[in-house]
Structure 1
Amino acid sequence: MTSRTLNLVLAASASLAFSVGAMAAGKYGPGASDTEIKIGQTMPYSGPASAYGTIGKLHQAYFKMVNEQGGINGRKVNLISLDDGYSPPKTVEQIRKLVEQEEVLATFNTLGTAPNSAIHKYMNAKKVPHLFLSTGATKWADPKAYPWTIGWNIAYQSEGMIYAKWLLKNKPNAKVAILYQNDDYGKDVLKGVKDGLGAKAATMVVKEATYEVSDPTVDSQILTLQASGADTFINITTPKFSAQAIRKAFDSGWKPLHIVNNVGASVGSVLVPAGLDKSKDLITLQYYKDPNDPQWKDDPAMLEWRAFMGRHYREGDPKDASNMYAYLTAQTLHQVLKQCGNDLTRENLMKQAANLKNFKLPLLLPGMAINTSPTDFFLMEQGQLAKFNGTQWVLFGELIGAND
């Protein structure tokens, strides 16, 4: 072999070794490396929505467990979870810190419609994945205008439409009073209700009342709605105010058909504080298994969930549906990070989030699966109605979608 040939062979070998090494090392965006995946979020650990703080605490427990088991594709997840007090200006401040100082790969499950609305344009301008938001606002599924944002919850408008369609079928002459949070979240569910009622909305909805998250109580609003003569009450509130509304309606002697939206229907964080006896016969929409429902007592996925709570998040309340929700959202992010393989760029992370195919989480209701595409950012499109019997929610009917 001539020296020239030997040099060519050595150069080729070196080039091949470099290529293999580069492939093994992977492709990385900010916050990712051979050993770490840095993810950020804000949560209301304080303030009027602090009941939701347990979601962020469970996320931290979940990824601590994942890291102890070896991480995802050999990398540890570093979840940085900051308190925003459910205050949009604070959310902006904390998210900027996560993106510009911590340089996270993505944000995950940031909670609340108003907080996420405050960072919506910023995240897309920065081209940072704004993943699996903890809010059902319909605007999170707009891949054309906001390709870096994707929600997780069932869309609020879809939920409102499902309640409306059920009322039209089962109580077409209802006199409906509605309490809603005065922001994009409350208005989104309200729009779904009215769209679902269609032409009958003008006659069926007899009274509306709003509240601000800074209000101490909603007692006066409940009395106003009661005075309208309504026989049906649609309660579009977050946990603190949902508990207040349930308790005040009962204590004032008002006994309407009471529908409470999914985000305000947790047994642990809403119905127990309101009073289980005062919560009897409430109706809500569910799309994942209720940890308080005895029909799931021996369900393998539920047993696994309870084991997780007992081992990794003992301070969490297994009765609180927010903890079940947190577990499901963490599993979804886990799957997407796994699908990324060794390409942990922001572009590929968003691509994988928009490429979930028949992804079945065992704690979703039977028959449900998650599917996304580059043109469809809705993860949850179905649900099932449930009635509270004084102890737990009892499912009835079949899975239903807003367009069914």
Structure 2
Amino acid sequence: MSMVRKVASISAALLLCAATSTTALAQKKYGPGVSDTEIKIGNIMPYSGPASAYGVIGRTEAAYFKKINDAGGINGRKINFISYDDAYSPPKAVEQARKLVESDEVLLIFNSLGTPSNSAIHKYMNAKKVPQLFVATGATKWNDPKNFPWTMGWQPNYQSETQIYAKYLLKEKPNAKIGVLFQNDDYGKDYLKGLKDGLGAKASSMIVMEESYETSEPTIDNHIVKLKASGADVFVNITTPKFAAQAIKKAAEIGWTPTQFLNNVSASVGSVIKPAGYENAQNIISAAYVKDVTDPQWHDDAGMREFLAFMERDFPEGNKLDGSTVVGYGVAQTLVQVLKQCGDDLTRDNVMKQAANLKSFRTEVLLPGISINTSPTDFAPISQLQLMRFKGEKWELFGDIISADVDG
């Protein structure tokens, strides 16, 4: 080989190496908390306090991410799941969010729970341009990509749910006298607004009493007594698990037998219905978007078998009857899908881009006919529900899958 050809060959080889290195570098883009071996994910849960029943969601997610890590992680990277307690206290949530973003330097905060807590960190997360992804609250305001491009919900929104109850009442019980119990915060008010919007012009005549309670109250028995005295024959129960169980039990104790509607966030058989007493919960109506372990129709369902295998093998201390475990499992699977779609571009920008590009994605714990869809202008991943009625020791689905018609 002549010297000229040899130099040319070496130059070509060097150019090829340089091009390959540049391509490799171009392919890998990392935001805070990401390396070749790790993805740091932050989370805030009420492991203590008045909404501690929801803490199982965070524990389910931790178990699911461990399962993913044990199988090799996501594209070779292990999830480092850092989850803090805020005791359902907005000031504490702010403190924990700052710690996760500024000290732990997580890539994103995932599935932080509670409307008050998420509202408290909403502006901070968007100012910092850190994904506040798949928040564990159905408030309608999480679907606002124009003003809050770094925040996205996951579950169906609260207003849609109570609008569905309103439609049912207008058709089945148009002369109903409705008593409402609601938590006095953004979560409770969002549900109440949906009910009023759904009832339309009839809201003022049909709703005979609105009772609000504070999460600091040890018991809500006095509110139930007042609602019974109002003459209401329909009870819309907009409460978190501890208070939902109290309300169902107290209504039965004082012989109040209205048609009851229970918000989905407290429809767990394990953490609400069983403590309230199965006999006290008969014929309560709620709405669902995920499968219920107690429903025999899913016994041979592949998705449910997969979930139960996970509970047995990876989270044996968890209560499979608690609907929150199903939710934690489903939302964790959705995050894994987003991270897979990100490939080696694990920047905060790309996380939001991929989260807003979920097309007919299904975690198999969703009810048949319900899928997850997002776009740059639609930050409401799940917008379908099905009504269900409590019979015996389980929920029974009825009617069709209903699509929400409420936008953020």
Q: TM-score range by the shorter chain?
A: over 0.9
| 2:285 alignment partner in structure 1 | 283
Match of 1:179 among 178, 181, 192: 181
1:18 corresponds to which of 16, 21, 41: 21
Q: Secondary structure at the match of 1:233?
A: strand
CA distance, structure 1, for counterparts of residue 386 and residue 19 of structure 2: 56
Deviations 1:317-355 (A, max 9, x none): 010000000000001001000000110000000000000
SS at match of 1:144: coil
State the Cα distance separating 1:267 from its structure 2 match.
0.3
Give 1:400 deviation, angstroms.
1.1
Q: Quick check: 1-10 or 267-276, which moved more? A: 1-10
The residue identity in structure 2 corresponding to 1:35 is: T
C-alpha deviation, 1:7, in angstroms? 6.2
> Match for 1:375: what amino acid?
T
Partner of residue 140 from structure 2, selected from 122, 138, 141: 138
Please state whether the residue corresponding to 1:149 is helix, strand or coil.
coil
Task: State the Cα distance separating 1:4 from its structure 2 match.
Answer: 6.1
CA distance in 2, matches of 1:207, 1:390: 30
Question: Aligned-pair distance for 1:295?
Answer: 1.0
* Cα deviation digits, residues 110-156 of structure 1 (max 9, x gap): 00000000000000000001100000000000000000000011100
Q: Which letter does structure 1 place at the counterpart of 2:198?
A: G
What do the CA deviations read for 1:73-118 (whole angstroms, capped 9, x no partner)? 1111111011111111111001100000010000100000000000
* 1:383 alignment partner, SS class: strand
Aligned-partner Cα distance in 1 for 2:324–2:359: 25
Query: Which one of the candidate residues 298, 301, 306 is aligned to 2:300?
Result: 298
Superposition deviation, residue 372 in structure 1: 0.2
For 1:235, the equivalent position in structure 2 comes to 237
1:366 pairs, out of 355, 365, 368, with 368
1:10 & 1:333 partners in 2: Cα distance?
A: 41
Q: Runs of 5+ in structure 1 lacking a partner?
A: none
How much does 1:21 deviate?
Answer: 3.3
Task: Tell me, in whole angstroms, the C-alpha distance in 2 between the residues paired with 1:69 and 1:186.
Answer: 40
Alignment counterpart, residue 97 of structure 1, candidates 89, 96, 99: 99
Structure 2 Cα separation of the partners of residues 365 and 37 of structure 1:
30
**Residue deviations 1:333-383 (CA, integer Å, cap 9, x gap):** 010000001100000000000000011222111111111000001111111
Structure 1 segment 191-206 matched on structure 2, within 5 A: 191-206=193-208
Aligned residue type for 1:306: L
Using the size of structure 2 for normalisation, the TM-score is: 0.97
Output one character per residue of 1:286-340: Cα deviation in whole Å (capped at 9) or x when no partner: 0111111111111111111111000000010010000000000001001000000
TM-score by length of 1: 0.98
- 1:9 equivalent in structure 2: 12
Question: Pick from 85, 88, 100: which aligns with 2:87?
Answer: 85
Instruction: Provide the aligned length of Structure 1 versus Structure 2.
Output: 403
Judged with a 3 Å threshold, the aligned counterparts in structure 2 of structure 1 residues 7 and 265 are, in CA distance, closer, same or farther, namely: same
CA distance in 1, matches of 2:73, 2:222: 51
User: Offset at 1:397?
Assistant: 0.8
Match of 1:162 in 2: 164
Distance 2:404 2:103 in 1: 41
Question: Quick one: which amino acid aligns to residue 16 of structure 2?
Answer: S
Q: 1:212 maps to which residue? A: 214
**Alpha-carbon offset, residue 181 of structure 1:** 0.4
Report SS of the residue matched to 1:371.
coil
Aligned equivalents of 2:328 and 2:10: distance in 1?
A: 57
Query: Which residue does 1:73 correspond to in 2?
Result: 75
1:392 corresponds to: 394
**Alpha-carbon separation, structure 1, partners of 2:25 and 2:302:** 41
Q: Could you list the runs of 5+ residues in structure 2 that have no partner in the other structure? A: none
Q: Secondary structure at the match of 2:384?
A: coil
Residue 46 of structure 2: which of 24, 44, 47 is its match? 44
The percent of aligned pairs where both chains have the same amino acid is 61
The CA RMSD over aligned residues, in Å, is 1.3
Letter in 2 for 1:276: Y
Aligned residue type for 1:22: L
Asked if the contact 1:162/1:401 (under 8 Å) is kept, the reply is no
Distance, in Å, in 2 between the alignment partners of 1:196 and 1:339 is 38
Could you say which residue in structure 2 is the equivalent of 1:324? 326
Partners of 2:261 and 2:241 in 1: how far apart? 14
Aligned to 1:255: 257
Distance 2:87 2:102 in 1: 21
Q: Please give the alpha-carbon distance, in whole angstroms, between the structure 2 residues aligned to 1:294 and 1:12.
A: 64
Structure-1 residue corresponding to 2:111: 109
Q: State the alpha-carbon separation in 2 of the partners of residues 156 and 390 from structure 1.
A: 27
Distance in 2, Cα, partners of 1:204 & 1:147: 38
- In structure 2, the partner of 1:350 is 352
